Amino acid sequence: MSNKSVTRRGVLKTGAVAGAGVALPTIFTASSAAAYTNEPTGGSVTLGFNVPQTGPYADEGNDELLAQQLAVEHLNGEGDGGCLNTFTSKALQGNGILGKKVEFVTGDTQTKSDAARASAKSMIEKDGAIMINGGSSSGVAVAVQGLCQEAGVIFMAGLTHANDTTGKDKKANGFRHFFNAYMSGAALAPVLANAYGKERRAYHLTADYNWGWTQEESIVASTEALGWETVNTVKTPLASTDFSSYIAPVLNSGADVLVLNHYGGNMVNSLTNAIQFGLLDKQANGKDFAIVVPLYSELMAAGAGENIKGVLGSMNWNWQLQDEGSKAFVKSFGEKYGKPPSNSAQTCYAQVLLYADACERAGTFNPCGVVEALEGFEFDGLGNGPTLYRADDHQCFKDVLVVKGNESPTNAYDTLEIVEVTPVEQVTYAPDHPMFSGGDLGQCNPGA
């Protein structure tokens, strides 16, 4: 594909007001001379980093932003190069992207879909962002992915775990490196059955938005297939900070396992409340009570402190992995910021590099060239081991980690212990699996 210069960038026009409660339909237009939205014409290219800098997932978002900034430095030939040295694709040379210096702008999603769309829209319209990366909520990811599809820019999702992102809400311009709820269930269920037995009764508390719903559905399906019974499923508002009123009924429910389909500050608070009620000191049905956190992060574990000891969950990546890509990223991130990176940081860093690499291999910033370069792309050296970006749904397939809260941590960052590296074959599913059906990937939109 050609990379012609243009006189005007694509212009975004909308009746929506930033931060408004109701998002009105968005209309994107571009001049007939434009090859695609926001085609870079000077010596630089602008990326948009849209992360939660406030709200319940702010810790994750701030760590993502550190990793995104590190990725830009590496792309521009600054620092130690990080994973540019271990990435199996050798298209990136540390001289920007296609010879253009990489610049970036940021936005605050606030973990709210409308705010995330508004900030992404502003970066595309006002700042000329040609790619949007980030987010720590699947509701945000689905909203921004839809906007990027309309705008004609690429969306490289950050932390989004709902099945919907690459299921019913998948888009041709969107790509997800992070694993999903189905994969968590497939990896966790055998470990849970081995640890707690096959005759268990589970009570679910679930964040009331699309991530929580699909997480609950996936864990229920995978555990019931092994013999567990689901006693109750209760939805909790994302804005909740005190879960005491939701924990109390668990004690008299007949359940002997509490599954917390919560993330970020929600998980820290709900787990803390469960410990305060003494759940892990109790027995039910002649069994020691257990708590499961299906989706973990290092930042959540640090926030929950000693409460996470022995609690099982799953992760996309962990800084203790010993593959060359993980070690390179951990070293680079640690030397710059004085701490290990979270798995949300790792996935955003990897997504920025994967976008830049796709542009180099395609020889263009045109979204349709990027889509073609990423579909079916197999790679290694970014952490997680061998990985496939499946063409059918733009979901990455790789090994999944099962972890538990470390019983005997040796330092402030030694909070989680890797219990099992679940092989990719165990978490792979057909593109038309019922949990992912109903959507249409559609066609790439270059925006012009």
CA 352 from chain centre, in angstroms, equals: 13
Query: How do beta strands 416-422 and 400-405 pair?
Result: antiparallel
Q: What is the mean pLDDT of residues 376-396?
A: 97
Residue in the block written with tokens 């640090």:
302
Query: Above 80 in pLDDT, residue 19?
Result: no
- Rounded to 5 degrees, φ, ψ at 205 are -110, 130
Architecture of domain 182-315: 3-Layer(aba) Sandwich (3.40)
Residue 64, pLDDT score: 96
State the pTM of this model. 0.90
- The letter for the amino acid at 170 is K
Q: What is the CATH number of domain 44-179+319-398?
A: 3.40.50.2300
Q: Is 376 helix (H, G, I), strand (E, B) or coil?
A: coil
Say yes or no to pLDDT of 44 above 60. yes
Q: What share of the chain is helix, strand, coil (3-state, %, to 5)?
A: 40, 20, 40
Give yes or no for residue 425 having a pLDDT over 90.
yes
- The SS3 assignment for 276 reads helix
Percent of the chain residues topping a pLDDT of 70: 92
Handedness of CA 423, 89, 342, 131 (dihedral sign): negative
pLDDT tens digits for 197-240? Answer: 999 999 999 999 889 999 999 999 999 999 999 999 999 998 88
- pLDDT, residue 80, reads 96
Tell me what pLDDT residue 35 has: 87
CB neighbour burial string for 201-219, b if at least 16 within 10 angstroms, e if fewer: bbbbbbbebbbbbbbbbbb
For residue 268, pLDDT over 80 is answered with yes
Query: pLDDT tier at 10 (50, 70, 90 boundaries)?
Result: very low
- Predicted pLDDT of residue 245: 95
For 387-400, write each residue's pLDDT tens digit. Answer: 999 999 999 999 99
Question: What is the pLDDT confidence band of residue 297, given thresholds at 50, 70 and 90?
Answer: confident
More confident residue, 413 or 176: 176
Among 135-139, 147-151, 429-433, the range scoring the smallest mean pLDDT is: 135-139
Q: Is the sign of the CA dihedral 47, 48, 52, 53 positive or negative?
A: positive
Burial track 356-376 (b if 16+ CB lie within 10 A, e otherwise) = bbbbbbbebbbbbbbbbbbbe
Cα–Cα distance for residue pair 196/226, rounded to 1 Å: 12
CA distances to 131, 137, 144, 352 from 19, in Å: 21, 17, 14, 26
Pick the more confident residue, 56 or 389.
389
Q: Is the dihedral of CA 248, 252, 258, 262 positive or negative?
A: negative
Residue 18 reports pLDDT greater than 60: no
Question: Can you tell me the distance from the alpha carbon of 217 to that of 220, in angstroms, rounded to the nearest whole number?
Answer: 5
Mean pLDDT of the chain: 91
Q: What is the pLDDT of residue 248?
A: 92
Residue 345 has pLDDT above 70, yes or no: yes
Run of H or E residues at 66 = helix 58-75
In this predicted model, which residue has the larger pLDDT, 20 or 303? 303
Q: How far apart are CA 62 and CA 55, in angstroms?
A: 11
Confidence of residue 427 (pLDDT cuts 50, 70, 90): very high
Mean per-residue pLDDT, 139-156: 97
- Judge whether 345 and 63 are in contact, CB under 8 Å: yes
Band the pLDDT of 34: cuts 50, 70, 90.
low
- Please name the helix (run of DSSP H) or strand (run of DSSP E) that holds residue 420, with its range, or none: strand 416-422
Q: What is the pLDDT of residue 65?
A: 98
Same fold, 44-179+319-398 and 182-315: yes
Give dist(CA 317, CA 344) in Å, integer.
Answer: 8
- pLDDT tens-place string over residues 96-130: 999 999 999 999 999 899 999 999 999 999 999 99
Q: Among 7-21, 215-229, 257-271, 415-429, whose mean pLDDT is lowest?
A: 7-21
The predicted structure's pLDDT at residue 15:
28
Boundaries of every domain in the chain? 44-179+319-398, 182-315
How much is the pLDDT for 180? 96
pLDDT at 1: 39
Question: Could you read off the pLDDT of 434-447 as tens digits, one per residue?
Answer: 999 888 999 999 99
Residue 17 has pLDDT above 50, yes or no: no
